[in-house]
Amino acid sequence: MQKLSNSIQLAHCLLKDRLNEAKIIVDATAGNGNDTLFLAQNALNNVQIYAFDIQKEAIENTKALLIKNKDNINLPLENISFIHDSHEHIDNYIQTKIDIAIFNLGYLPGGDHKFTTKDDTTLKTIDKILNNLNINGYVAIVMYPGHEEGLKEYQSIKLFVKDLPKKSFTVGWYKMINHNFNAPALCWIEKVGEYA
């Protein structure tokens, strides 16, 4: 099976390495719970995972997937907070430093497009997380430029991250160069120094 031709798989590959040290982990867009499950399967057993979604149904689906897989995850279910709220309110839920965050943007495949992520709230949340990220912490952002709101979001994120100071962050931008321009892309941020 190909492993690096898909931005989500690539994000998971990159995160896996750091998950064995992370203590506070955020899934900013829980959706159907696949990313939360991946995090729970690869995290240590004493960490806290926070999964956000604005859709009640997404939070319920995520919780159900984790309960179904409770014997195949590394940590107790009580260590996973399923939060039915926008990720922009992250500071209401997490006051400690964050080690890992993943954003899988857009809307649920087959779901209502009115629940898509929006560039202003996404950027606000990314900025909050970057301010609160531990040094050596990682943020992975999977973007979908193939729909109108997703393209706007992709362009806004690109403008924002390209000016992040390199003494504070290393930023990667992954696109499959021989695929369609609209193919999902990955932005990868590692905190390397203080950011004020």
| Interaction site with ligand SAM (CB under 6 A) | 29-35, 52-55, 58, 86-88, 104, 106-108, 115, 117, 121
- Closer CB to ligand SAM, 74 or 121, in the complex: 121
Q: Which of 93, 190, 176, 188 is nearest to 142 (CA)?
A: 188
In whole angstroms, how close is the CB of 194 to ligand SAM at the nearest point? 27
Q: Are 161 and 185 in contact (CB under 8 A)?
A: no
Supply the minimum distance, in Å, between the C-beta of residue 60 and ligand SAM: 11
- The nearer residue to ligand SAM, 72 or 136, going by C-beta atoms, is 72
Minimum Å gap between C-beta 164 and ligand SAM is: 21
Q: Which residues contact 88 (CB under 8 A, 6 or more apart)?
A: 121, 124, 125, 128
Give the H/E segment covering residue 13: helix 7-19
Residue 189 three-state SS: strand
Q: By beta-carbon distance, which residue lies closest to ligand SAM? A: 31
Nearest distance from C-beta of residue 115 to ligand SAM, angstroms: 4
Q: Please, how many CA atoms are within 13 Å of residue 12, restricted to the half-sphere of its CB? A: 16
Nearer to ligand SAM, 8 or 192 (CB): 8
Our CB check for ligand SAM shows the closer of 9 and 34 to be: 34
Report the nearest approach of ligand SAM to the CB of residue 21 (Å).
Answer: 22
Secondary structure of 15-69 in the HEC alphabet? HHHHHCCCCEEEECCCCCCHHHHHHHHHCCCCCEEEEEECCHHHHHHHHHHHHHC
48 or 121: whose CB is closer to ligand SAM? Answer: 121
